Structure 1
């Protein structure tokens, strides 16, 4: 297949921590096992059939999350274009970009055989993979169409676009870059949607959200500030975080103090230790048997899980 040629070929994946990894672990340890251990090496032709299947299920797309990805991609495209040429894109250009990405993913989802052969290069919506008629739910399609208009309009009108991105006193530091750093021996991954620096030394982190408000976002914001403070040495009082809720047309501005940084550091340490309890060999990241990873406690977690094809413990 050749898709995993740049990925590790060890018996077990690299040990690390991220906010999304913690969310999966807290939601359903069984799902966590499939996502990080069951799918490992599944891109290889000589891998066990179960691993190949789980790896493909891992690559299934959720329609709402993929819409969020497309919005992030056009936001990044807009930011970089403005940074280079001080010119933005017209709304129609961005709209067609989002629509074309969604339509292409839909077309590819009609051919499961092609997707099975190249699950990293082709798209497959989970909603279509598990549907008898290979169709997207009509209510979901209607909701995405509405969100396309609302989120795109609010992106072009949002506070951060006008106060930060188009302000010559701010310069882009990074956008959608995957960074790593260590917290008490734990390798941590973090990715900021956009990071800007004002000429007076003030930093602004911008986070785009295309869905509903979520209380768990606070931990994510603390992680961003922790990374900027600990790794790049930025004083906490010089960090502002803007969460742009595009669906609700709301810009939430936050700062993080020393207690917030201490809280997220403790969160990382405690969460990593909890994950380690599910390992036979913490040093080699070898997991305990799948049966030791309990399933989700809530039925709704199973209803839309990518791994419901292979999971033997599901809420009915």
Structure 2
């Protein structure tokens, strides 16, 4: 692995969302935490990196659901076995239990190697997980997997009449605007002439980020060199047991490309040296003081600098 003084510049919708939320948080996350995993990095880099690796319980719950579903699909494709709800729930509970042990019993190990252990934001700041929150997560596990198994996407995925093509690597990149563009694509399968993009979500509300979903369509269109009218995006709400399906147009894709181009140009304004992706000084990344600050991973850094 090459050790560079600055990270490689890439683009993603999540990165733009973070910049919109707070440029100072963007700086901590993408620049000041760089190389913080190295033993000879300075204490500030290490602190930024540790804070970057914190996970809050709802987000980790969603991550676990995605991992278990991804593994189940891979297992089904390779070995033709389909785990039931109890098996899926058991696998998820094991991951959650290990994360809890990491955050408590192995807290000292996490401090020194935050990339190898999990630390819950709630335990880091409060010292404990609320019993009610833990119970609610456990109840939602079974609900999510029941809805997964009864969803139309899952019925397609396990059908011998479709071709599963997106189970190997959910992290996908394309090259556009002289930049590597990343997207997290949960699953893709081909049904007849259509490429179906499935986006599993554990979110409560059903207010879709249509731009994010159109970006998934854009990635699949570019990756498989197919026209946009052959790409279908379906968001599966695992907590609700419902789904929204989207068909995007050439005009939507032009809008996506404009959004990416404008976003990249905005991010370039925070580069002192674009060739190296060297950032401007931290003082050039303004803070956005909002209600989100209370749950920000980097709030201790902001509080220390005021």
In structure 1, runs of 5+ residues without a counterpart are 1-5
Give runs of aligned pairs for residues 60-99 of structure 1, distance below 5 A.
60-99=54-93
Secondary structure of 1:259's counterpart equals helix
Instruction: Write the distance in 2 (CA, Å) between the matches of 1:113 and 1:216.
Output: 39
Secondary structure of 1:311's counterpart equals helix
Give runs of aligned pairs for residues 100-249 of structure 1, distance below 5 A.
100-110=94-104, 111-131=106-126, 134-162=127-155, 164-175=156-167, 176-198=169-191, 200-213=192-205, 215=207, 217-249=209-241
**2:33–2:49 CA contact under 8 A, matched in 1:** yes
RMSD between aligned residues: 1.7
Relative to its length, the structure with more helix (as a share) is 2
Instruction: Write the distance in 1 (CA, Å) between the matches of 2:247 and 2:305.
Output: 41
In structure 2, runs of 5+ residues without a counterpart are none
Secondary structure of 1:310's counterpart equals helix
Instruction: Write the distance in 1 (CA, Å) between the matches of 2:116 and 2:304.
Output: 31
**2:174–2:222 CA contact under 8 A, matched in 1:** no
Alignment partner, residue 299 of structure 2: 308
Alignment partner, residue 19 of structure 2: 25
Alignment partner, residue 31 of structure 2: 37
Q: What are the superposed Cα offsets for residues 216-250 of structure 1, whole Å, 9 maximum, x if unpaired?
A: 62111111111122232111111111100111111
Secondary structure of 2:99's counterpart equals helix
Q: 1:219 to 1:120 in 2, by over 3 A?
A: same
Instruction: Write the distance in 1 (CA, Å) between the matches of 2:250 and 2:94.
Output: 44
The structural deviation recorded for 1:282 is: 1.6
Instruction: Write the distance in 2 (CA, Å) between the matches of 1:248 and 1:177.
Output: 23
The structural deviation recorded for 1:102 is: 0.5
Instruction: Write the distance in 1 (CA, Å) between the matches of 2:304 and 2:177.
Output: 35
Secondary structure of 2:301's counterpart equals coil
Alignment partner, residue 292 of structure 1: 284
**1:308–1:314 CA contact under 8 A, matched in 2:** no
Alignment partner, residue 3 of structure 1: none
4+ aligned runs moved over 6 Å, structure 1:
none
**2:37–2:115 CA contact under 8 A, matched in 1:** no
**1:279–1:287 CA contact under 8 A, matched in 2:** yes
The structural deviation recorded for 1:121 is: 1.1
Q: 1:52 to 1:178 in 2, by over 3 A?
A: same
Instruction: Write the distance in 2 (CA, Å) between the matches of 1:140 and 1:284.
Output: 44
TM-score normalized by the length of structure 2 = 0.94
**1:295–1:314 CA contact under 8 A, matched in 2:** no
